[in-house]
Amino acid sequence: AQTVTQSQPEMSVQEAETVTLSCTYDTSENNYYLFWYKQPPSRQMILVIRQEAYKQQNATENRFSVNFQKAAKSFSLKISDSQLGDTAMYFCALIFGNEKLTFGTGTRLTIIP
């Protein structure tokens, strides 16, 4: 079975600062993807970034980047130059094969003006 753990229930940071959200996971699979999804107050689940496990290079999407440590089974999200619109719940998730997404419990991030 796959597990995803987010140990930071809540975080807050000043606008324009950098924040890192942590995620660890456990799987015996070799071919899997990891994701960060964002869920703002509207409750829409929005894809932030994806990392394929077979890729050594860390994924980046504009202000969002990940630190993927496969051996340590760690997958953290760094948000640079944080903006008020980044306020949301952030979920780390894992998928392999045709299987379901396994989600962590989420981190509530608040950007303070």
Partner 1 sequence: KAGVTQTPRYLIKTRGQQVTLSCSPISGHRSVSWYQQTPGQGLQFLFEYFSETQRNKGNFPGRFSGRQFSNSRSEMNVSTLELGDSALYLCASSPGTGGIPETQYFGPGTRLLVL
Span near partner 1 by CB under 8 A; candidates 8-16, 67-75, 77-85, 92-100: 92-100
Handedness of CA 76, 107, 99, 45 (dihedral sign): negative
Among 2, 78, 95, 108, binds partner 1 (CB under 8 A): 95
Q: Residue 113 Cβ, how far from partner 1 at the closest point, in Å?
A: 27
Q: Residue 49 Cβ, how far from partner 1 at the closest point, in Å?
A: 10
Residues numbered 30 to 69 that lie near partner 1 (CB under 8 A) are: 31-33, 35, 37, 42-47, 50, 52
Cβ closer to partner 1: 7 or 44?
Answer: 44
Cβ closer to partner 1: 13 or 24?
Answer: 24
Cβ closer to partner 1: 37 or 68?
Answer: 37
Distance CA 56, CA 58 (A): 6
CA dihedral 39, 45, 46, 48 (to 10 degrees): 60
Phi, psi for 48 (deg, rounded to 5): -100, -50
Handedness of CA 17, 38, 22, 35 (dihedral sign): negative
Q: Does 101 bind partner 1 (CB under 8 A)?
A: yes
The strand pairing partners of 12, in sequence order, are 110
